[in-house]
Structure 1
């Protein structure tokens, strides 16, 4: 019975933490909502409530990407999968990923890397390979590598400031 009591205590703690996260971000404490909050804060994305219906979360507000739509995703495990849309295509996908190999059981919410995919170029590359496009689209390693903006800047469309890099490092 002590294991059940311990589980009940852990769930109460989790509920308390989830409630605090929900209050902070202004929505349910789900990985996608937390990713959007982080992206809005670090990358100065302007959220767009109507954008949800159109397949994106908001728009970039500065630099060469200003005004471009972006769909934010967080893959707790870097598994090569991406939620790619064909009916409502954003301009970009901004994707946070955790490690390839997880240190524990489950999916801890860690950010090991960040990727920026130009959506139409990604769709073209996937179609050329004959990939089935869905919520679990398999994206090859070279496409991920070219899209990386953190920790190594391989995609130069969005260069991160030192402050942005330090903020992302908080989630390692």
Structure 2
């Protein structure tokens, strides 16, 4: 090992201490460990009126509490980049996937890139519809199911309102804009 290597290890350790402090503050607010899944669910609950399940281990994260989706079940995903993949579950009694994403990016090597904590787009997928379309294409349903660009476009509810199933009010869009990179 050389002095440069030691210096980099020290720098990383210091940065992780800073990150842990921020994560502790976020965890105190959301009352769950700071992960994309837990924070994404918390944000979605407040922006979209979702009552979260008490247990964070089921495929159903919660239910919509108002509007045209009242009572419908939802699984919330937060992907720091939109790479065209969605983790799906065929067995869950689930109505919708609500997917928060950062910037679009090809599913490629992550070497030299970053995954910023931001929300640039939000998508609402009808579980039965998207899974039927995937089966028709012969796509395996499970972890990292490949969703076509046209399906993403049709499911978009923010910033463009392509999916009429959930139209955002101006105050909801404003809350989501708080999480933009720019």
Class of the TM-score when normalised by the shorter of the 2 chains: over 0.9
With over 3 angstroms needed to count, the CA separation of the structure-2 counterparts of 1:14 and 1:121, relative to structure 1, is same
Q: What residue in structure 1 maps to residue 127 of structure 2?
A: 119
Q: What residue in structure 2 maps to residue 130 of structure 1?
A: 138
- Report the more deviating stretch, 1-10 or 128-137: 1-10
With over 3 angstroms needed to count, the CA separation of the structure-2 counterparts of 1:170 and 1:119, relative to structure 1, is same
Q: How many angstroms does 1:51 deviate by?
A: 7.6
Q: How many angstroms does 1:50 deviate by?
A: 5.1
Structure 2 unmatched runs, 5+ = 1-5
Q: What is the rounded CA distance, in whole Å, between the counterparts of 2:69 and 2:56 in structure 1? A: 17
Q: What residue in structure 2 maps to residue 20 of structure 1?
A: 25
Q: 2:45 aligns with which of 24, 32, 40?
A: 40
TM-score (norm 2): 0.89
Q: Is 1:61 matched with 2:57?
A: no
With over 3 angstroms needed to count, the CA separation of the structure-2 counterparts of 1:4 and 1:51, relative to structure 1, is closer
Helix, strand or coil for the counterpart of 1:157?
A: coil
Q: How many angstroms does 1:9 deviate by?
A: 1.6
TM-score (norm 1): 0.93
Q: What is the rounded CA distance, in whole Å, between the counterparts of 1:157 and 1:90 in structure 2? A: 16
Q: How many angstroms does 1:75 deviate by?
A: 1.0
Q: Flag the structure with larger Rg.
A: 2
Q: What is the rounded CA distance, in whole Å, between the counterparts of 1:151 and 1:159 in structure 2? A: 11
> Deviations 1:45-93 (Å, cap 9, x if unpaired)?
011135843x210000001100000000011111000011101141000
Provide the aligned C-alpha RMSD in A.
Answer: 1.5
Q: Is 1:170 matched with 2:178?
A: yes
Q: 2:95 aligns with which of 88, 91, 97?
A: 91
Structure 1 unmatched runs, 5+ = none
Q: What residue in structure 2 maps to residue 74 of structure 1?
A: 78
Q: What residue in structure 1 maps to residue 151 of structure 2?
A: 143
Q: Is 1:3 matched with 2:8?
A: yes
Q: What is the rounded CA distance, in whole Å, between the counterparts of 1:155 and 1:28 in structure 2? A: 32
1:94/1:117 contact within 8 Å kept:
yes
Helix, strand or coil for the counterpart of 1:145?
A: helix
1:89/1:119 contact within 8 Å kept:
no
Q: What is the rounded CA distance, in whole Å, between the counterparts of 1:10 and 1:51 in structure 2? A: 29
Q: What is the rounded CA distance, in whole Å, between the counterparts of 1:34 and 1:50 in structure 2? A: 14
Q: What is the rounded CA distance, in whole Å, between the counterparts of 2:146 and 2:27 in structure 1? A: 31
